[in-house]
Amino acid sequence: MTRLILIGICSALFFSSTFVLNRAMSLQGGHWIWTASLRYFYMFFMLSLWLVLAGKTRLLKAVLSAYRSNWCFWTMAGSIGFGAFYSLLTFSSSFAPGWVVATTWQSTILATPLVLLLFGKRVPMRGILFTALIFIGIVLVTCEQASAAASMRETFLGVVPVLVAAFAYPLGNQLIWEARHGKIATIPESSTAVLDDSVARVLLMVLGSIPFWIVLTLCLQPPAPSPGQLLNTAVVAIFSGVIATTLFYKARHLAKTPFELSAVDATQSTEVVFSLLGEIVFLGGAWPGKAGMVGITLSLVGLVLYVRSQTIAD
């Protein structure tokens, strides 16, 4: 369990770059759809090149073959787990500071048990009780953001899309977990060689999200991205898309029980601290007020108690 937690926290450190850089691009006037979609186009080429340079060209071909064989399922999984999740997250960054988005994003810890229940998994009540602290923390941060926002519309658009994204991400992750273990008859049991490799798993989900990004970009027809946005999205793709996602999927892959899966997802609460410090250091952001600090503290205490309860249970 300790190893899973450490890997999860390391992934959260790299994930936090998303919130800081997305906010930076928003403040510079970059359209959110480029912030979102370019990351995954970059990831596709980076991960493909990674497999080629690592001498795993055969595995790359296996990924493409797995997608072609069940393109409908993988497009659905990629569109939910990567497409809906990240498009909503970047959209919210246009209306709220990065640390607010990061804190609200912790609602994914509340969403995970519900997603597991949806797939017929057993979820411990003690874990749900501890995640209530995280939820209270999110409410306090949202209240502070509402008092500082120009309008209720700005608060709504800065928070609600993140709450929806918080359900989309674990749902997409669980779909790939179910596909690997062949637990549900309606979900195709995919090649073990592909889904046993962390990079290949991420690449398969990225590939599944490409149709989503193409359709969304054609519908919105945004102005061309700036050179700064092209560079920043490349950095996000490396830090968050490649390094963080691969680490996170590795931790989830090592998890053997619903308890461990929930604990790995819970480590993502540390993104709040990393995002807050990053925004203050790199963007000159202000420290949150009393309500915000209490909210962040409750979210982190909820994480510690949650993980401790799972460790004792194991």
- pLDDT tens by residue, 132-155: 777 788 778 877 766 766 567 877
Give the whole-angstrom CA distance, residue 273 versus residue 125.
27
Give the whole-angstrom CA distance, residue 223 versus residue 226.
9
Token pair for residue 181?
């273990």
pLDDT at 98: 80
Pick the closest to residue 18 from 96, 98, 76, 72 (CA basis): 98
Task: Compute the radius of gyration of the chain from its Cα atoms.
Answer: 19
- Domains held by the chain: number: 1
- Determine phi and psi for 43, rounding to 5 degrees: -60, -40
Question: What is the residue range of 6's domain?
Answer: 2-313
pLDDT at 63: 92
Report field, pTM of the whole predicted structure over 0.75:
yes
Give the whole-angstrom CA distance, residue 203 versus residue 107.
26
Residue 281: CB atoms within 10 A of its CB come to 10
What is residue 37's DSSP assignment? H
Below-50 pLDDT ranges, the chain = none
Is residue 90 within 8 Å of residue 35, measured between CB atoms?
yes
pLDDT at 134: 76
Give the whole-angstrom CA distance, residue 145 versus residue 195.
40
pLDDT at 312: 53
Q: What is the dihedral of CA 194, 198, 199, 205, to 10 degrees?
A: 70
